[in-house]
Structures are given as C-alpha cells and as structure tokens.
Amino acid sequence: MDLSHKMFSEIPSVIRHHGNAGNINWLMTTYSAWAHVVALVGVFKIMDCSKETLMWAFLLWPISGLGITVGAHRLWSHRSYSASFPVRVFLMLCNSIANQGSILHWARDHRVHHKHSETDADPHNAMRGFFFAHIGWLFLKKNPEVIRAGKELDFSDLHEDPVVMFQRMLDPWFALYMCFVFPAQIAVKFWGENFWPAFFVAGGLRYVYVLHCTFLVNSAAHLHGDHPYDVLSYPSENPYVSFFAIGEGWHNWHHKYPFDYATSEFGISSQYNPSKLFIDVLAAVGLVWGRKRGTAACEMGMVRRDRDREAGVPLPKPAPRPWKAHAAVKHD
C-alpha cells in the first residue's frame, strides 16, 4: 500500500499481468509517457529560460490548479456553490490549462469516486495500492463496476451548462493547446522568450508537476494522515497534500461533508486552503453565491458523540487499515 521499494519492484510484474489480460489502456499510457518525456526535456531546458518564463511557469501552478480545485471539483463535481457565467468561463480556461480531461469527464469520475470510495466501483480505488490510486488507474481500462456505477448517476446538470459542453465539444484539442502551446505563446509575445524552452518548461514540466500534485489527493490523502471527523473513512487530513494541491488535502472532512465549498473545517488562517480564499474573494464582489458549509452538521455530530460517550456508548473503532495489518503480521 505504501510508497515503498516493494511497490516499485512489483510494477513490471503488474504490467505483464495486465498486458496479458488485455487490460491496458494503450492510448492513455502512450500519451502519459509522451507527457512525462516532454516534462523531462523541460527539466534540462530550465537553464535556457528567462526569469520571466520561470515565474510564469510557477504562476501557472495555482492558475491551472484553480481550474481543478475551484472549478471541476468544488463547483462542477459537488455544486458546493454557484458561480456567474464569467467566473465559469474563467475556471473552464484554467481547467483547460490543467488538461486533466474535460470537466464533464472529471466530474463524472469524481462523483462515482465519492459514492463508491475504496470499492471496485471507485475509479482510483486506493485499496489497490499507492501507485494505482496515484496514476496507475489511468493506464488500465475501467473496471466494469466503475462503468456500471457511472450509468446510475445523474449528470444532467453538467450537460445543461453551456460552458462545460463548449469545452467538451473542443476536447481534447483545446485543452492540449491551452496546456502546452498557449503558455509558450504568452512568453514569446510579452517578453520575447524562445518558443521551445517555454513550451517544455511552462507547458510540459509545469503540466506534469500539477498533474502529480492533483494525483496526491487520490493516493497520499487516502493512505496517510489523521481521521478526526470520520474514523471509519480512509480519506485523511494531510497538510502536505494541501500545500501541493492548493487546499485539497483536508480529505477526511471533505469525504464526510462533500457538499462543503471549503473542503475543510477552518479558514485560511488555520488550514492552508487558497482555493477557499479565492472563492471567498469572488463571493465578496458578488460573482459567486450560495456557498455551502458542513460546520452545522459537524457540530450536530459532536453533540451526538458527546451524548453517546456520557451514556457509555463506545466510539466506533476502525478495523486496521489493510496495509497496516499486513505490516503488523509481517513484523510478528
């Protein structure tokens, strides 16, 4: 389960197994390999870039991240707040720079993930290990249970949003352009950067970095951290993931109260969550509204917990996590 030498050493045998079984999604595997090669070239092109291009690449981390956290996740997947048309267009553009699939595709998989978390119907079931939850799930054809679960959910709200459907109509070419070419064109036009260094660094290297920052929410935040809100839930509170994913690491709270626009109990002063701050700023100027919170439900749960404790009702205790139980048996 953990990110370990054993996990890496078993990857070749796992690849052979799925290859022989015909489970590999060759299109996604080929694309992912290409993207990582582009990112690797970007590493060697860093010294060829101006400081303006490097700053631009750095700024594209939170810019593209907002398209995932504030857009695809909190707005379109969970409908945790409402946004005006200009905000939705802006978030769609940021989401396209992030290039993690269309909003429709992303939100569909995420809703299935929440309804069937840590089961065979979960697209990135963390019970299959860190590598699978992080990126391996993209390399394989979807489990039939994932497909079945997706057919049972309602996505009509996404189909009725013209911004979502506009992006879907142009997928994947618009996202590929916004992710790789657009950042380079900005660098060329505004400070005279050469196209290819900007393409590889502000485009490819930045893209793969943000991609893995997002994937940490599926892997690390489901396997490592504290569980103060729901001890029976695998998703955890992980401040390190929150840093890389600009506020999405407070995952035990989020899976307990998925409708909460903040995806965390506290504000920016207590928990690193720039995505919440961004939504709050937009709300202050009237561009978003209807922000939902889980704090009232949490307070009711705490009252119920205290009442049960006074009545002698024991708190629920989770079974040992599979990877911890395995480690304990191995140690014995």
pLDDT digits (tens, 9 = 90+) for 129-180: 899 999 999 999 999 999 999 999 999 999 999 999 999 999 999 999 999 9
When pLDDT is cut at 50, 70 and 90, the band that residue 248 belongs to is very high
pLDDT digits (tens, 9 = 90+) for 302-311: 788 778 777 7
The predicted pLDDT at position 292 comes to 97
When pLDDT is cut at 50, 70 and 90, the band that residue 11 belongs to is confident
- Would 258 be classed as within a structural domain? yes
The predicted pLDDT at position 331 comes to 54
Q: Which of 157, 188, 161, 175 is nearest to 93 (CA)?
A: 175
* % pLDDT > 70, the chain: 94
Q: Which of 296, 298, 301, 278 is nearest to 81 (CA)?
A: 278
- Would 193 be classed as within a structural domain? yes
- Most confident residue range from 74-88, 260-274, 316-330: 74-88
Residue 230 scores a pLDDT above 80 = yes
Which residues touch 252 (CB under 8 Å, ≥6 apart)? 225, 226, 227, 228, 229, 230, 233, 235, 236, 237
When pLDDT is cut at 50, 70 and 90, the band that residue 221 belongs to is very high
Comparing 43 with 314, the larger pLDDT belongs to 43
- Would 11 be classed as within a structural domain? no
pLDDT digits (tens, 9 = 90+) for 178-193: 999 999 999 999 999 9
Comparing 9 with 322, the larger pLDDT belongs to 9
- Most confident residue range from 203-212, 265-274, 313-322: 203-212
Contacts of residues 167-170 at CB distance under 8 Å and 24 or more positions apart, as own/partner, are 167/92, 167/95, 167/96, 167/102, 167/103, 167/104, 168/102, 168/103, 168/104, 168/105
Average pLDDT, the chain: 92
The predicted pLDDT at position 332 comes to 54
The predicted pLDDT at position 20 comes to 84
pLDDT digits (tens, 9 = 90+) for 193-206: 999 999 999 999 99
Q: Which of 233, 238, 260, 259 is nearest to 248 (CA)?
A: 238
For residue 186, what are its two tokens?
């900005």
Comparing 332 with 140, the larger pLDDT belongs to 140
For residues 119-126, give the mean pLDDT: 95
Contacts of residues 68-72 at CB distance under 8 Å and 24 or more positions apart, as own/partner, are 68/95, 68/98, 68/100, 68/106, 68/210, 68/214, 69/245, 69/246, 69/247, 69/248, 69/275, 70/94, 70/275, 70/278, 70/279, 71/95, 71/103, 72/100, 72/103, 72/106, 72/107, 72/110
The angle formed by the CA atoms of residues 179, 181 and 183, to the nearest 5 degrees, is 70
Domain with 134 in it: 20-331
The predicted pLDDT at position 302 comes to 79
When pLDDT is cut at 50, 70 and 90, the band that residue 3 belongs to is low
pLDDT digits (tens, 9 = 90+) for 29-61: 999 999 999 999 999 999 999 999 999 999 999
Looking at the structure of the chain, the number of domains it has is 1
* % pLDDT > 90, the chain: 78
Residue 13 scores a pLDDT above 90 = no
Q: How far is CA 187 from CA 47, 203, 204, in A?
A: 15, 11, 14
Single-letter amino acid, residue 76: W
Give yes or no for a contact between 174 and 2, defined as CB atoms under 8 angstroms apart: no
The predicted pLDDT at position 259 comes to 96
